Amino acid sequence: MDHQSRRTVRTTCPYCGVGCGVLATPTDAGVAIEGDPDHPANFGRLCSKGSALGETLSLDTRLLHPEIGGIRAGWDEALDTVAGRFRETIERHGPDSVAFYVSGQLLTEDYYVANKLMKGFIGSANIDTNSRLCMSSTVAGHKRAFGEDLVPGCYEDLELADLVVLVGSNTAWCHPVLFQRILAARRADPKRRIVCIDPRRTATAESADLHLPIRPGSDVLLFNGLLHYLRHNDRLDFEFIERHTEGYAAALGMAQETAPTLPAVAAGCGLAESEVAQFYRLFAATERTVTLWSQGVNQSTSGTDKVNAIVNAHLATGRIGKPGAGPFSLTGQPNAMGGREVGGLANQLAAHLDLDDPGHRRQVQEFWRSPRIADRPGYLAVDLFRAIGEGKIRAVWIMATNPAVSLPDANAVRRALSACPFVVVSDCERDTDLARFAHVQLPALAWGEKDGTVTNSERRISRQRAFLGAPGEARPDWWIIAEVARRMGFGAAFGYRDPAEIFAEHVELSGIAGAEKRRFDLSGLQTAYDDLAPTQWPVNAGHPQGTPRLAFDGGSGKLKFVAVRPRLPVNAPDAEYPLILNTGRIRDQWHTMTRTGKTPRLTGHMPEPYAELHPGDGERLELADGALARLDSRYGTALARVRFSAGQRPGTVFVPMHWSEGNSRQGLANALVNPAVDPVSGEPEFKHTPARITPYRPAWHGFAIARRRLEFPDAAYRVVIPCRNCWRHELAGEAVPEDWREWAQNQAGTATDMERDWLEFADPRAGRYRCAWIAGDRIEFALFVSPCHELPPRDWLAGLFGQDILSDAARASLLAGRPLSAEDDQGRIVCACFSVGEKALRRAIAAEDLATTEQVGTRLKAGTNCGSCLPEISSLLAETRR
């Protein structure tokens, strides 16, 4: 590993929008990672993913050199090819025939240069970002309510609030550092309350004082009912409403019309009247209330209306911009907000200026001194790839994201990419699902190598700093974009020498926006770029140290109520597809797993794609817990492992979105998801696709563990899982090999002279087969096959690969299919931070009569780092001590 130095570097985590500070220290063994105790987002705490960052920095799967048609090329040839093809396409078909698709994984400086090139010099607004998939409903809701994309509060408010309402957010898993701050505040003052509004009983709901398992898609009805309740019970702040808002009468009228009574709201939301009444009473009585929301609100065909229904309740009570009070959007990606600041969405201009405002367009064009400026919105993400499939876009450049996995109706996206005349991919990884469609691949720097800024959920700008050298020929994204711009004839405007120059230009433009009464303003930043400390905007003459909360004093225009009518999701379940499919994240994985999938520490908790549904639905559909099932929608199919959960709302099924063809076969969740979008924001409805689930009954089930990753092309179902000293492969097949030994040896690639080292047990009548290849004293490969899904535990077997000398007893245990002792099998990982398994936890709880999570933490350390496993440990305590 190429180290820049041995000093500790302050940087920022590359995962979610919490924006945790990280201390990275290169060592002889790699990079040591710690939370930054001085960063105000996390004060030293990291989640399981952040804690494992040092284990994800390997170069074995990296894209390290430019490639044209899959063949290594030099930078000049690759850049000339990209610039030439884009220039030729524009000359033949016009500027709207090309597009960029970018990412919340980019740094602000990268985003700024890409947006400048497309909107100001190419002259099209066909640049959209994967933030469209997670945050655009919030952006649209903010703009309707505040006139600008603003988060009014800060993280401190989560600790000052007496009531925290979490809507459509499994914060315990997806933003665990913030959730632990909320729980710590409640421990400090037990009168504080947490309400979780979510169809699923998640880890977040387990820790809440009140859980409302709302009918999917009924959030607007619930919050319209809240507004009506607040007015009926005289809990409104009429002074605030009159001085600072407009539109109240229309919003209240709509609430009274659509949510006339509490029983009507409860029936429409699928809740008990007592649950709704308890929530309404809590909200009405608690001045310091923060409402947090995430993808369960945003990823909906009525996502923007959901945001405004929540904001309406805060405007009506004046609970906004005050300590411990306000509506608060939890951002999905590390720089989703930074991308929005520079106009990374297809319907934005840089610096929060409006694309549809001629005066704003003129200001930006004059500032950039650009030959043209986009004058209408470009294609939003889903429509952008539809336009590629229709031949309207003939050249696309995709940066730092994988739409072949992450977009809805993923099979249609792949068909579009395969038909596109010219696809450029800038990425860190070489062999992704997207790479097969690339005509040119450009190697970009990854986290730890690149340098720039990101903005978190509370408007806090932090530095990502490099602590590793550039591997191979990888380059910063901003440099790659600027070099293409130079080759397209725009060199004078893209002569940046480093990211500091780009950031300075961004800051200067923000001052123009601030002069237009925009809150986004960095013009007061005086600190040198390299020394920039985490700072919340606006930063200007009036707030030179930044602004934790945005005061609404009427100086920036009236805040707006928005009258919103409840609407059902676009696609309703029916007799053919009777279930509602909901997709989302799991605790220890991130997006398409290109980074988190590298470390065994993060794959142990939930190693396979799964379909979680209520036990009653499972029994009715003749599914077995732990067996495989086939999921179908009108858009595609997938295979997944069945998980029963009483916390899953009947009639719904939850499937994680992380797996792709790179690590699974038929595990692509977004192949199932409908492409319907919110008409205001363009955000897809990932949370509500009609689907069906049926048992998948292959001829055989199995798993193999080997010292290297294997392909198993004959397996209909295959998931590849990294372990500490080996690779685990979960398998199922639809045809039984004639000779299992021959089949296994072909898969393992064993030489014929190793026959004497081959151990096996076969029961052809029962359809069972077990084998192991021992080379010297080490196990190299093992395969277990059964006609049913019930197979021996995997973890103890994977542990044998860590032994240099395999004992006779261990060899015997291989063929017996069970560990030598119970202690050898710790079970499925529960605590990823300290690799503590379920069976180890159950044994310790039973043997030592542990009664609390604190006692478990003292004994096994489980739950003492990020805390995201604490709800599961609590459940194990209850079950084991029952």
Position 827 confidence tier, pLDDT thresholds 50, 70, 90? confident
Q: What is the pLDDT of residue 339?
A: 95
- Helix, strand, coil distribution of the chain in percent, nearest 5: 35, 20, 45
Alpha-carbon dihedral of residues 702, 429, 667, 423, nearest 10 degrees?
A: -140
Checking if the pLDDT of 2 tops 60, the result is no
What pLDDT score was predicted for residue 555?
A: 52
pLDDT band at 3; cut points 50, 70, 90: very low
- Residues 681, 71: Cα–Cα separation, whole Å: 40
Q: Mean pLDDT, the chain, as a whole number?
A: 95
pLDDT level of residue 795 (50, 70, 90 thresholds): confident
Q: Rounded to two decimals, what is the model's pTM?
A: 0.96
Q: Where are the alpha helices (DSSP H) in 420-550?
A: 477-485, 499-515
What average pLDDT does this structure show over 373-383?
98
d(CA 876, CA 871): 9
pLDDT digits (tens, 9 = 90+) for 335-360: 999 999 999 999 999 999 999 999 99
Read off the pLDDT of residues 836-862 as tens digits, 9 standing for 90 and up.
Answer: 999 999 999 999 999 999 999 999 999
CA 519, CA 513: separation in Å to the nearest integer?
8
- To which residue do tokens 């069972």 refer? 768
> Which percentage of the chain shows pLDDT scores above 90?
88
User: Which residue, 72, 63, 62, 79, is CA-closest to 480?
Assistant: 79
The pLDDT of residue 332 is 85
Give the integer Cα–Cα distance in Å for 362 and 364: 6
Residue 644 has pLDDT above 50, yes or no: yes
Tell me if the bond preceding 538 is cis, omega within 30° of 0: yes
Query: What's the confidence (pLDDT) of residue 662?
Result: 84
pLDDT band at residue 99 under the 50/70/90 scheme: very high
Per-residue pLDDT reduced to its tens digit, 399-435: 999 999 999 999 999 999 999 999 999 999 999 999 9
Confidence of residue 775 (pLDDT cuts 50, 70, 90): confident
The 10 Å Cβ neighbour count of residue 337 is 29
pLDDT value at residue 756: 62
What mean pLDDT is predicted for residues 371-389? Answer: 98
User: What is the pLDDT at residue 754?
Assistant: 54
Count of residues in the chain: 882
Task: Please tell me the number of Cα atoms within 13 Å of 285 on its side-chain side.
Answer: 9
Tell me how far apart the alpha carbons of residues 118 and 95 are, in angstroms, rounded to a whole number. 9
Please give the pLDDT value at position 817. 82
Amino acid identity for residue 136 in this structure: S
pLDDT on residue 290: 98
For the stretch 74-98, pLDDT in tens is 999 999 999 999 999 999 999 999 9
* 81 CB-contact burial (10 Å; exposed 0-12 / middle 13-18 / buried 19+): buried
